[in-house]
Amino acid sequence: MRLLDKYIIYSSVFALFTEAFSFHFVIDVKLYYVILLTNFFLLATNKSITIHKNLIVILGFLLLHGVINYLWLLNPIQSLIAQLLGISISSIYYHNLIKYFSVKKLFEVYLDFSFYIAIISIFMFYLSINSFSAHRLNGVMSEPAHYAAIMLPSLYVFLRRKNYLKLFIILLTVLLSKSSIGYIGIALVIIMPLLKAKYFLKYFIVVVVVIGGSIFYLSTVWNEPISENNSNALVRRLKQTNESLKSVYTGSFKNDINLSSYAFLSNAYITRNIVYNNPLGAGIGSYRHEYDKYYGTMKPPKYLKTTLKKINRTDANSLFLRMVADLGIFAILLLAYFFYRTLKIFGSDGKISSQATFFYLVIKLIREGHYFPPEFYFFLLIFLKEFDEDIAYS
């Protein structure tokens, strides 16, 4: 393999982990964009850049849908243009990268990077380097939840391959992230193989013991008094979230609600109002502008600083919420296809890489609301498309 090809492969996969890397040159510039645009030029000059017909249809729909709704709702059209550019460049680049260099090669490089980054992240955690907080691991990522999400595909693959050393290292770092999203991901990694009958009996007892033990543990501590510093953090969050669910309908939040719950529920309230008034969606990238229109009907908890009262105003805290607000019923159709594709992929033993990307994507739907973070289209395209290995680089 040529040296240039190796550079494109390794730098493109490394770029998946660079969300926290930025530098100042006249303006703040993210390393991901530098790598992406440089490699886009290198790929275009050494290969031929192609755009899949389905991608043209999707981008065309987003453009038409967005223009109509932006003009109707009088939102700044620049937001639509910025989102479409980011989605277009990222998706076109990673489609061509995977087409030329194959899923197998690129995913193996991702697995190598994830393992070595996990080891580095352990040292970073204990040396307090790039720490999100003193007690949570985020490694080279900007947040613990982001770290957990990008590691879940490798966690699944190492489990399927029975590579227990690498599995243990990845699992340890996800646990050290203390991310509720990471815990959900681990549970899914255990549960999803049970959808197949041949795995069901093998793991049924283990799952029953884990679930039963979890329920028993929660029952023993559920009625303990809630204290921000001393009580169980998971139980505290579950109880406060349960008590605050009605805020999605009223827009009024109690003063004892934690910040994570407020972030999700306040954006769920905004999304509900957007969809109620615009069932076909408000246009891709319109969320922040629609948020401002409905924010005045909310009553945030008094303890929050002004800067936190509009938390996740730009990304809705969840890709699911943002997609529903931006695309309305069309988002529901996309999600229906996502779950149809999930059943199809997990119905085949030979699609381990595609199966692995599911865990990242489902967590992305729950938590991270950006349309083009560095890793998103790499995983999404592997999940969606049957790439022709015959045209890939040998």
- 179: how many CB neighbours lie within 10 A of its CB? 25
Residues ≥6 apart with Cβ < 8 Å to 268: 248, 321
Question: How far apart, in whole angstroms, are the C-alpha atoms of residue 313 and residue 328?
Answer: 18
H-helix or E-strand containing 357?
helix 352-366
Per residue in 295-313, is it b (16+ CB within 10 Å) or e — as a string? beebebbeebeeeebbbbb
Per-residue pLDDT of the chain (394 residues; tens, 9 = 90+): 689 999 999 999 999 999 988 876 656 678 999 999 999 999 999 888 999 899 999 999 999 999 999 999 999 999 999 999 999 999 999 999 999 999 999 999 999 999 999 999 999 999 988 888 878 999 999 889 999 999 999 999 999 999 999 999 999 999 999 998 999 999 999 888 776 655 555 666 776 777 788 777 767 766 666 555 555 666 666 666 566 677 888 888 888 787 888 889 999 999 999 999 999 999 999 999 999 999 999 998 888 888 889 999 999 999 999 999 999 999 999 999 999 999 888 887 778 999 999 999 999 999 888 998 999 999 999 998 765 544 444 4
pLDDT for the residue numbered 154: 97
Eight-class DSSP state of 394: -
pLDDT for the residue numbered 323: 96
**185 close to 379: Cβ distance less than 8 angstroms:** no
pLDDT for the residue numbered 392: 45
This prediction has a pTM of 0.85
